[in-house]
Amino acid sequence: MREKTLVIHIGPHKTGTTSLQRLLYDNRKALQQVSVDYVGSRLNHHLEALSLMRREGLDGSVPAAQHWKRLVRAVEESTAQVKIISSEHLSYAQPSDLDRIVNAFSAFHVRVLVTARPLERVVPSLWSHFAQIREFPELRPWVESLFDGHGVDNSVWASQRYDYLVERWSVVDAASEPTVLVPTLNHVEFARNVEAACWIPRGTLHPGRTFENPRLTQSEVEFSRVFETAIRNSGYPNGVYVGRRRIAPSRVMRSQGPSARPQSSTPLDADQALMLREVDREVGSRLESMSLRWIGDRRELVLRDQVHPGGRKQAASEDLMLPLEQATFVTASLIEDVTRYRQEAKLRRIGPLFDQIPEVRALPLVRVLYRRAVLNVRKVLMRVARYPLPSNQHPKNRQGSHEG
Amino acid sequence: MKDRRVILHIGPHKTGTTSIQLSLHRKRHVLLRQHSIEYISDRQRINANLAIHAFRGRNSQHVEYGSIPAPSLWEYVRERALHAPHSIISAESLSRLGDEEVDRLRTELRETSVQIVVTMRPLTRMVVSQWQQIVQNGPAPSLDEFAEGVLRGNLGAARSEVASGLQHDLVIRRWARVFGVDSLDLVVANDEDPVQLFRGLAEAVNVPLSVMTGSKVANRSLTWFEAELIRGTFAQLARNGRLPLLDQNRRFARIALGLKTGRKPPASEPKIKFPTHLTTEVGHRADAFISTVHELGIRVHGDLSSLARQDGVGVNLPVEHVPAELAAHAARSGLLSVGFAVPITDLESGRGWTSSSVVSTLAHRLFRRFPTMMRR
């Protein structure tokens, strides 16, 4: 069974993907000893997934096609019995992308792995995630907008609803029986479940260094959300970068902030929590009717704790206040990061121009020249239109008179 | 009788000088054509502060960061003043001139008849505004510390100029001694009636009010949260030894500017108040100034007694938390001011660097990558 098996973990977002990836990444050597290859050398396969789907990364650019080709080659060249690749971006794959995956790995016994958590938990986490990386609305209107288009056509549902996801990816799974892994908070149990899900011999994975992505407080998420929106309104549509490094307050805040991080994600309003719980029930019952390989407790996919009837109508203003010390630390750190990155990149050595426009890559600069040229041509044309040449000097008339 | 007349508007700082300078700059053609008055400034700038720094051979008020402007800046302003029949020079840095410097200025302008215009506001407002200015420009003391230092004259050496700038009775005595009391006009601003400042100035300069008004200046004050956040950020940068890195065209002063233009604070956000415990001292200082004006017999335009008014006095509660959106706007402003001089959209629409700069940047990069490309 294990011979030439390729496990593709497709996420989706906020379902314990980073924990799973960190577990495999940290145990790469141990995995090799039992003939399992977590392909490549990086934490995940985001670049390759984006390259396959021709999707933009955070910086607004599409990774080169080479990344996907290199991954396919690495899988083909791997001598391990089981190969694993993992990227939550794959949850956005369209049927045409799936065809390419099937063709690329036709020589392998491909198995699809989906990690799943209750959407009632995932949706606020997802909002918090997006609010930290791009211009994004507030939580309540965003959740409302999800229910305005509550179908497979909505890209959020298409990638986050496990029933839609499994239906789509069944064509890739060699046994037409994708695996659904329901993560637990117990690190040891989680490692054993990942082993079962990926055909790894039991006891191989050591969960000691399992990564936990620190959650942000509500005020920190609000900070990130307003920052990203303001940055985009300032003329940086893809965020701010120094070279390939993204300058993001969320990273700084994770490194320093309140000693006690919140245990749960941003709380939803009660009415929206109940609506999402209903979606979870619907997803759960549809998954029951499908042919799936379950790892973990599937009952965990619908929360059972009581939603407070009064609910939380709006974030209280004190929830959106940041300690002054933390606010000044983050602002100063961001400024320092930029100056340090610029120094590390030795931009100053090249000459004054690199000091002036170091953050802009070559291609946008070419675009700057092109746009300026277009603007200048347009100006000239407008001037000509406003002050036309005298009729006797017009080239058309001159030609006519010459012929006559 | 000298036929050339120079009007020197000497400020001091935080008395509506920017509004006046913007107005004079925008109406300079009207002043010249209709009233034969030339408004002289540092070429592209709206005031002559750099020329005055050059005259003094000193750097700007931010002694830690500025550099001494070229002497030619002052020579340009002086030559124009000596040749124009009537001229106005406005520079709040004139109020910082010492006794010897005022004497030297008199000597350099001896071929002209000089009129001095001093603008004033209630002292409580001036102290708060001056503190805001310092907060915007780099590491600053707390408001209480600053106000006490100004009123009791025990600010550190680096701020001694600021303290002297707030000793207005000494300033008018100094200028009256050199140029004579008859040459002095005092214009008192009224925060409730912004036109009063222009009315007083129009009277002093002897032009119609319409020449002075019509220019709207939107330069809002910082709120208490904003000021404390900026002050805390500079303190953090200073603690980490990062401030010298920011010594490029004083970009960091744009952090507050970006915050003021990019954010609209809610009405409920607390304003900066003059500390209650210092009202007696500020009252004494205002009284001393008013009696000096009476004693010297200086011409006054506006309500002199309003200088002793104590508006905007109260207690500024310690700031422990700030709204997350304010912190986000400050971070954005800081990042873009210090690290990212020009957004790409500005470049595309033709603002920012010249096309030749962009081309040479691209050429430099190509040149840098050439060896790597060849190796491949």
Q: Which residue has the tokens 């994708």?
A: A178
Q: Which of A229, A328, A336 to probe by mutation at the B interface, max B CB count within 10 Å?
A: A328
* Cβ within 8 Å of B, A 218-247: 219-220, 222-227, 230-231, 234-236, 240, 242, 247
Does ipTM top 0.90? no
Say whether both A291 and A402 belong to one domain: no
Distance CA A143, CA A276 (A): 9
A112 within domain boundaries: yes
Are B341 and A357 a contacting pair at CB < 8 A?
A: yes
A136 within domain boundaries: no
| Cβ contact A180:A290 at 8 Å | no
How many independent structural domains does chain A possess? 3
User: What pLDDT score does B48 carry?
Assistant: 94
Residues 6+ apart with CB under 8 A from A209: A22, A26
Say whether both A203 and A220 belong to one domain: no
| Cβ contact A368:B348 at 8 Å | yes
Say whether both A205 and A347 belong to one domain: no
DSSP-based three-state secondary structure for A239 = coil
| Cβ contact B198:B212 at 8 Å | yes
A335 at the B interface (CB within 8 A)?
Answer: yes
A333 within domain boundaries: yes
Tens digit of each residue's pLDDT (9 = 90 or more) over B339-359: 655 555 556 666 666 777 778
Distance CA A7, CA A27 (A): 16
Rg (CA), chain B: 23
Residues 6+ apart with CB under 8 A from B355: A369, A372
A311 within domain boundaries: no
User: What pLDDT score does A353 carry?
Assistant: 34
- Mean pLDDT by runs of 10 across the 404 residues of chain A is 84 92 94 96 94 84 89 95 96 94 94 95 89 84 83 76 94 92 91 95 82 76 89 74 74 72 68 91 94 93 70 59 90 82 52 41 78 84 66 46 35
A318 within domain boundaries: no
Are B357 and A353 a contacting pair at CB < 8 A?
A: yes
User: What pLDDT score does A152 carry?
Assistant: 56
Say whether both A367 and A225 belong to one domain: no
> Given B245, B347, B362, which is nearest A362 (Cβ)?
B362
The pair of three-digit structure tokens given for residue A384, joined into one six-digit string:
């000509």
Nearest to B171 by CA among B118, B127, B126: B118
Least confident range of A104-108, B151-155, B208-212: B151-155
> Given A224, A335, A355, which is nearest B335 (Cβ)?
A335
Distance CA A206, CA A24 (A): 9
Cis before B12? omega within 30: yes
Say whether both A90 and A159 belong to one domain: yes
Enclosing H/E stretch for A241: strand A241-242
Say whether both A54 and A194 belong to one domain: yes
| Secondary structure letter of residue B203 according to DSSP | H
Contacts of A365 in chain B (CB under 8 A): 347, 358, 361-362
Phi, psi at A199, each rounded to 5° = 55, 45
Tens digit of each residue's pLDDT (9 = 90 or more) over B5-55: 999 999 898 898 988 999 999 899 999 999 999 999 987 688 999 899 999
Residues in a beta bridge with A111 = A7
User: What pLDDT score does B35 carry?
Assistant: 93
Residue scoring higher pLDDT (B155 or A298): A298
Say whether both A222 and A87 belong to one domain: no
Say whether both A240 and A351 belong to one domain: yes
Say whether both A239 and A291 belong to one domain: no
> Given B228, B328, B344, which is nearest A235 (Cβ)?
B344
A179 within domain boundaries: yes
Distance CA B340, CA A242 (A): 9
Say whether both A290 and A402 belong to one domain: no
Cα first-last separation, chain A: 89
Say whether both A34 and A108 belong to one domain: yes
Its domain, for residue A383, covers: 363-404
The pair of three-digit structure tokens given for residue B344, joined into one six-digit string:
């790409």
Q: What percent of chain B has pLDDT over 70?
A: 85
pTM of the entire structure? 0.73
Say whether both A20 and A108 belong to one domain: yes
CB-count burial class (<10 Å; 0-12, 13-18, 19+) for B180: exposed
| Secondary structure letter of residue A294 according to DSSP | E
A272 within domain boundaries: no
| Cβ contact A342:B251 at 8 Å | no
- Number of A:B CB contacts under 8 A? 173
A128 within domain boundaries: no
